[in-house]
Amino acid sequence: MTALDEVKIGGLGASRLRVEDQRFVRGRGTYLDDIKLPGMLYMEIVRSPLAHARITRIDTSKAWQIPGVRLVLTGEMMAQRNLAWMPTLSYDTQAVLATDKVRFQGQEVVVVVADDPYIAKDGCDAVEIDYEPLPAIVNPEQSAAPGAPIIRDDKPGQTDNTCYRWEVGDREATERAFAEADVVSSLKLHYPRSHPSPIECCGAVADFDAGTGKLTVYMTTQAPHIVRAAVALIAELPEHQIRIVSPDIGGGFGNKVPVYPGYVHAILASILTGRPVKWIEDKTGNLISTGFGRDMYLDAQMALRRDGKILAVRMHADTDQGAFFADAQPSKFKVGLLHSAFACYDIGIGYITAQGHYTNKAPGGVAYRCSFRVTEAMFFQERMMQAAATDLGMDQAEFRRINLRRDVAFPARTPFGFLVDSGQYHKCLQVGLDAIGYDEFRREQAAAREKGRLLGIGISTMTEPLGAGNSREYDILGIKMFDSAELRVHLTGKAILRTGARTQGQGHETTWAQIVAHELGIPADDVVVEEGDTDTAPYGMGTYASRSTPVAGAAVSMAARKVRAKARKIAAHLLEVSEEDVEWELGRFYVRGAPERGASIQECAMAAYSNMPDGMEPGLEATAYYDPPNLTWPFACYIVTVEVDPETGVWDVLRVVAVDDCGVRINPMIVEGQIMGGLTEAYAMASMQFQTYDADGNMIGANYMDYLLPTAWETPGFELHEVVTPCPHHPIGAKGVGECAAVGGPAAFVNAVIDAIGDAGVRNIDMPLLPDRVWTALQTRQSVS
Ligand code: CDP
């Protein structure tokens, strides 16, 4: 017998082509808009043109008169059913349809349901609404100003615009460390509001069957079971009569985690009309009303010893939450995992405070390709590292070397309570420095500067916590953050695997089968993966924040191991030896000492249905629920070189080097794709992508002429490298990877531009680094030098 070649059967380490692409490249995916049910009606939303205004009149009579209009829903009608407001996943409330006031531009005010989408649009145009404008609040400073109008006057006891306050760390010890510091470095930053902007917008097809009482909702959700729980709790429908189906999803990036009012409208409309109702946002609707990311102001200081040792960090964050606190994050920490900042550095002391502010902007602060504010944390961390090294007059790489945790220093507790458990941070940094040719570049940079050319190099090193959660600290609506997998091996040895996660392009259909191949030796091509239907999938908390591999992926391993344990008993029966005498190699059991006597996993599967031992239950299947003991801690080092044009402020990327340690790679090709996607988003955030508002609360960035996404034309090339430190507690040693480059990348780009122009006093330019901002900073530099 020759042992199976794991890579050949598509196990761990195989760069297996994505099986889902078979249907996607042929145009055979089933996205929400592909779903057409008999008798289906179409829904459109009338949105507020104003950011803050009292509603004085709503007249829907003309809309009702349009032939083909079947239903016009107002906030008043929702209120009669106790549905005008709904709870958010962050324990706030959110208007489903406005009754008293509108609180952001784009807020949902009236819903029209009609025979086709065009009639529904005409119906929207026929609705008359009078508003009495109120002053708009568009940033935390205005929100906290004395006498500012109270946005959430609907909330009993709300006397100002504070959404939350939060703190962590040891304030007194931090003050003492700052008093003893040789140097105190400070930095203020704004991480601008950006939008995940999936290519497919949010939407739902709600289908209530009055005959059976069953509600089926097809929707673009990253977390179908959470939605089922929310519908059961909000609409008080029996949970077993609710089926949420998440079909193929055209990108999520955190935008499709929250429960949006549109879903509730569509469900109620289907119940009231007795017909299926389809709602799909247009692009502007998606950009102005659904979960944005970031919009955080940071003010921080670092206490330093002259030799480069960081003694303590202190920071304050102001988050602009918009009109409703709906950031849909599963921790008990109000500002998500912001306090994971500085986890890769050996810093003993720190103190963080945060305050959330209501403003007249769309609600959100979602984990846009990020683990709940980790992007802001890592951006701030790496910008602060650069400022501190500059203040000390120390080399950027050397300053990191002095402070990065050593390989022997694990596990280690950060001053904010996280347990970092593994990593080779110094090696990762060195691989990056060697790849970019750090010393050589510094020489080139100095020579270029003599000739008036501005070259810069930016480093970003970071570890981040991926894979919420452990159930002690992470839950949504009280439901713990575990995940699940169910594996059924059929009698011919082919298998079906279902998980509680939901892929939105990450390739789970490919990689989960690879984990089964690794555990059982069943070729990955013989395993079909299904996700996203709450009637069939085991209960899970969905896919966001790169949690799938750390949690659902681990559950896949554990389910396969349960199957293997049962198959071992069957093998012992087939081989007529005791179980203790049975050994395992990939795909096959054999008799200890007589390796030629064996039974393949496929033979065991057949026997599980046709020749099982006496007293054994037939069948070969298992379910596993996995509650991770800790988060996983991938590490990365991103290094970018740029050239800035001193005349125009335009900057070009010269090279991007990425070194990622995501533990064991299931599918190296998919991992590389994830890293390239993340780096592209990092480049977008650093160079062009943001949403802003004018003084009246009008959103700038409501379409793709104003909200820029990089195309293949602008996006630089990426040079990828790897270091592998297996995760000590994950069954196959894997860590999450999907978001790492989007989280750690932006600081590398910004640090590079600041490095190019910062020699005379430019400490910061807020993202995106548009040429005019860089040019303005260059003027400061020239006037200083
Ligand atoms: O939760 P999400 O799927 O967005 O993120 P992830 O767990 O980081 O996984 C993204 C994709 O990369 C999935 O297809 C994973 O199976 C794959 N991956 C991998 O092949 N090896 C790893 N160590 C981590 C992720």
Q: What is the ipTM of this complex?
A: 0.98
- If you search the block for the tokens 């555990």, which residue do you land on? 519
Q: Strand pairing partners for 531?
A: 499
Q: Does residue 14 sit within a domain?
A: yes
User: Is residue 550 one of the residues assigned to a domain?
Assistant: yes
Point out the ligand 1 atom lying closest to the alpha carbon of residue 508.
14
Q: Whose CA is nearest to atom 11 of ligand 1?
A: 506
Q: Is 665 in the pocket of ligand 1 (CB under 6 A)?
A: yes
What pLDDT is stored for residue 1 in this prediction? 56
| Residue 585 and residue 493 share a domain | yes
Indicate if 409 and 498 belong to the same structural domain: no
Which ligand 1 atom sits closest to the C-alpha of 737?
8
- From CA 765, how far away is CA 760, in angstroms rounded? 14
State the pLDDT at residue 783: 61
DSSP annotation of 340: G
Q: Is residue 316 part of a domain?
A: no
* CA of 734, closest atom in ligand 1: 23
Query: For residues 768 and 198, what is the distance between their CA atoms, to the nearest angstrom?
Result: 20
Which residues are part of the catalytic machinery? Answer: 222, 369-370, 739
| CATH label of the domain that carries residue 70 | 3.90.1170.50
From 15, 17, 506, mutation site for ligand 1 pocket: most ligand atoms within 8 A of C-beta: 506
Asked if the structure places residue 504 within a domain, the reply is yes
Burial of 29 (0-12, 13-18, 19+ CB in 10 A): middle
In a domain, 215, yes or no: yes
Task: Yes or no: say if 700 and 292 are a contact pair by the CB < 8 Å rule.
Answer: no
Q: Which amino acid is located at 317 in the chain?
A: A
The CB of 500 under 6 Å from ligand 1? The reply is no
| Centroid of ligand 1 to alpha carbon of 671 (angstroms) | 7
Residue 47 bridge partners (DSSP): 108
**Residue 552 Cβ < 6 Å to ligand 1:** no
All residues at 6 or more sequence positions from 335 whose CB lies less than 8 Å from its CB, including other chains: 164, 166, 317, 319, 354, 356, 373
Same domain, 113 and 60: yes
What separation in angstroms does the CA of 723 have from each of 404, 426, 432, 498, 720?
Answer: 16, 11, 10, 31, 11
Q: Which two tokens stand for residue 755?
A: 């490095």
Smallest CA separation from ligand 1 atom 12, residue:
671
Asked if residue 75 lies in contact with residue 98, where contact means CB atoms within 8 angstroms, the answer is yes
Residue at which a domain ends, from 604, 626, 648 = 626
The pLDDT tens digits for 618-645 are: 999 999 999 999 999 999 999 999 999 9
Taking alpha carbons only, the member of 144, 178, 162 closest to residue 315 is: 178
Give me 713's structure tokens.
Answer: 């034309």
Evaluate whether 636 touches 735 at the Cβ level (below 8 Å): no
Whether 727 lines ligand 1, by a CB cut-off of 6 Å, is: no
Indicate if 524 and 564 belong to the same structural domain.
yes
- Separation of CA 553 and ligand 1 centre (Å): 8
H or E stretch at 782: helix 771-784
For the CA of 511, the nearest atom of ligand 1: 16
What is the number of other CB atoms lying within 10 angstroms of the CB of residue 536?
13
How far is residue 576's CA from residue 582's CA, in Å, rounded to a whole number?
A: 10
Does any ligand 1 atom lie closer than 6 A to the CB of residue 671? Answer: yes
Residue 765 phi/psi, 5-degree rounding, is -130, 130
pTM: 0.96
Asked whether 548 lines ligand 1 (CB < 6 A), one says yes
Domains held by the chain: number: 3
Tokens for 355, please give them. Answer: 């305050």
Give the residue carrying structure tokens 């945790």: 405
Side chain identity at 172, as an amino acid letter?
A: E
Q: Give the angle subtended at the CA of 454 by the CAs of 448 and 457, to the nearest 5°.
A: 95
330 lines ligand 1 (CB under 6 A): no
Do 203 and 220 touch, CB atoms closer than 8 A? Answer: yes
For residue 573, how far is its CA from the centre of ligand 1 (angstroms)?
Answer: 38
Which residues lie closer than 8 Å to 540 by C-beta, 6 or more apart? 225, 482, 483, 484, 499, 500, 501, 552
Burial class (CB within 10 angstroms; exposed 0-12, middle 13-18, buried 19+) of 157: exposed
Count Cβ neighbours within 10 Å for each residue of 194-210 and write b for 16 or more, e otherwise. bbbbbebbbbbbbbbee
Is the shortest distance between the CB of 554 and ligand 1 below 6 Å? no
Query: 694 with 724, same domain?
Result: yes
- CA separation, residue 691 to residues 117, 138, 359, 367 (Å): 28, 12, 14, 16
Rounded Cα–Cα distance for residues 45 and 125 (Å): 10
pLDDT reported for residue 785: 46
CATH code of the domain in which 445 resides:
3.30.365.10
Distances (CA, A) of 69 to 66, 108, 130, 209, 491: 6, 18, 22, 21, 53
- 747 assigned to some structural domain: yes
Best residue among 499, 511, 544, 722 to mutate for probing ligand 1, ranked by most atoms within 8 Å of CB: 511
Domain that holds residue 734: 370-468+630-780
Q: Ligand 1 pocket, 549 CB below 6 A?
A: yes
Distance (angstroms) between ligand 1 centre and the Cα of 18 equals 13
Q: Which atom of ligand 1 sits closest to the CA of residue 668?
A: 20
DSSP state of 549: I
Are 74 and 42 in a shared domain? yes
**Of 284, 295, 241, 234, the residue nearest 259 (C-alpha):** 234
Q: Which residues, given as ranges, of the chain have pLDDT below 50?
A: 785
H or E stretch covering 757: helix 740-757
Using alpha carbons, select from 86, 141, 103, 137 the residue that is nearest to residue 319. Answer: 141
Q: Which residue has the tokens 């290519």?
A: 199
pLDDT tens digits, one per residue of 373-421 = 999 999 999 999 999 999 999 999 999 999 999 998 899 999 999 999 9
Q: Are residues 102 and 21 in the same domain?
A: no
For ligand 1, the distance from its centroid to the CA atom of residue 666, given in whole angstroms, is 8
Pairing outcome for strands 162-169 and 183-194: unpaired
**Residues of 752-781 as b/e, b for ≥16 C-beta within 10 angstroms?**
bbbbbbbeeebbbbebbbbeeebbebbeeb
Nearest alpha carbon to residue 379 among 659, 658, 723, 749? 749
Q: Is 674 in the pocket of ligand 1 (CB under 6 A)?
A: yes
667 lines ligand 1 (CB under 6 A): yes
Is the Cβ atom of 468 under 6 angstroms away from ligand 1? no
Half-sphere exposure of 569 (CA within 13 A, CB side): 16
Does residue 105 sit in the same domain as residue 21?
Answer: no
Please name every residue paired with 319 in a beta bridge, in sequence order, or none if there are none: 296, 356
Considering the domain architecture, whether residues 680 and 724 belong to the same structural domain is answered as: yes
Encoding tokens for residue 646? 């001193």
Cβ(741)–Cβ(679) under 8 Å?
yes
Q: ∠ at Cα 289 (97, 547), nearest 5°? A: 110
> In 3-state terms, what secondary structure has residue 108?
strand
In a shared domain, residues 420 and 502: no
b/e per residue 595-626 (b: at least 16 CB within 10 A): eeebbbbbbbbbbbeeebeeeeeeebbbbbbb
Question: What's the gap in Å between 186 CA and the centre of ligand 1?
Answer: 36
Residues β-bridged to residue 396: none
Expressed in angstroms and rounded, the spacing between residue 330 Cα and the centre of ligand 1 is 20
Query: What's the 738 CA to ligand 1 centre distance in angstroms?
Result: 6
Q: Are 679 and 662 found together in one domain? A: yes
Q: Is the Cβ atom of 506 under 6 angstroms away from ligand 1?
A: yes
Residue owning the nearest CA to atom 5 of ligand 1:
546
- What single DSSP character describes residue 456? E
Give the residue among 421, 428, 333 at the shortest CA–CA distance from 372: 333
Statement to judge: residues 705 and 572 lie in one domain: no
Tell me, yes or no, whether 310 lies in a domain. Answer: no
Q: Return the structure tokens found at 578.
A: 């005791």
Whether 606 maps to a domain, the answer reads yes
Query: If you measure from the C-alpha of residue 551 to the centroid of ligand 1, how many angstroms do you get, rounded to a whole number?
Result: 10
Give the H/E segment covering residue 216.
strand 214-219
553 Cα nearest atom in ligand 1? 16
Q: Which residues are registered as beta bridge partners of 476?
A: 479
How many other C-beta atoms are found inside a 10 Å radius of the C-beta of residue 76? Answer: 12
Where among 626, 659, 694 does a domain terminate? 626
